[in-house]
């Protein structure tokens, strides 16, 4: 099975964007299977082979929904937007034995025209959040993460929005890590147009090579 996406993949997503209804999806179920599901599975399997060597030795991928794959159905229970389907494809590759969505991870999002690549760890709470703040409060540990984040930002990566308007107590508002302390987890990401490799088996290596720059960030998060 090829890890290459195709023009049919992007046409499917554009069709959903134009008419995001069950009727549109049902009429294109065969296209969804052949142009979305099958190459997505192959892409995850290829990335799972490449990422431990290029980014972090603990990175894992598994071509199952709830692991590296996401449902195309949107969760609309608490959303004002009631459109039923996503118009992009998301992938996650994680470090650790816990639930993948709670671990340090590399993220990939594909739209019909762009590729987003990034890394981070979102939704920290309880003991994990306390540990994150403790490590940021340590002069050496905090400096190490700030340097990793700054290097990625200089290279064009964008930091996700903070969760808090103020620095949490007991840290002062002018703490060197004040910006990161306002996050209960975060990710950094870069978005670019589709590369020429998008429609051949070179796409996974293209992604893995660009995710290599996130290695210091993954190392810090995984060390926690």
| Domain range enclosing 177 | 7-223
Number of domains in the chain: 1
Residue 2 lies in a domain: no
Contact 186, 180 (CB under 8 A): yes
pLDDT digits (tens, 9 = 90+) for 33-74: 999 999 999 999 999 999 999 999 999 999 999 999 999 998
Assess if residue 195 is contained within a domain.
Answer: yes
Report yes or no on whether pTM surpasses 0.85: yes
Please write the tens of the pLDDT for every residue from 27-38.
999 999 999 999
The CATH number covering residue 65 comes to 3.30.930
Q: Residue 1 falls within a domain, yes or no?
A: no
187 belongs to a structural domain: yes
- Concatenated DSSP letters of 1-68: ------HHHHHHHHHHHHS-SHHHHHHTHHHIIIIIIHHHHHHHHHHHHHHHHHT-TTEE--SSBTTT
């Amino acid at each position: 099975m090829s890890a290459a996406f195709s023009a049919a993949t992007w046409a499917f997503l554009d069709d959903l964007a134009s008419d995001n209804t069950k009727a549109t999806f049902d009429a294109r179920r065969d296209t969804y299977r052949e142009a979305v599901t099958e190459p997505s599975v192959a892409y995850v399997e290829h990335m799972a082979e490449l990422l431990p060597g290029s980014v972090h030795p603990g990175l894992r991928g598994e071509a199952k929904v709830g692991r590296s794959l996401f449902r195309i159905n949107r969760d609309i229970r608490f959303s004002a937007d009631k459109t039923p389907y996503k118009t992009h494809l998301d992938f996650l590759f994680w470090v650790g034995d816990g639930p993948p969505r709670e671990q340090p991870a590399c993220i990939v999002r594909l739209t019909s025209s762009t590729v987003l690549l990034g890394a981070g760890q979102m939704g920290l709470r309880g003991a994990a959040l306390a540990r994150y703040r403790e490590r940021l409060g340590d002069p050496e540990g905090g400096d190490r993460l700030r340097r990793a984040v700054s290097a990625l930002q200089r290279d064009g990566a964008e930091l996700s929005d903070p969760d808090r308007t103020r620095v949490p107590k007991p840290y002062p508002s002018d703490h060197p890590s004040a910006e990161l302390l306002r996050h209960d987890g975060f990710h950094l990401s870069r978005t670019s147009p589709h590369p020429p490799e998008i429609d051949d088996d070179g796409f996974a290596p293209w992604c893995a090579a660009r995710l290599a720059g996130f290695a210091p960030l993954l190392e810090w998060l995984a060390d926690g």
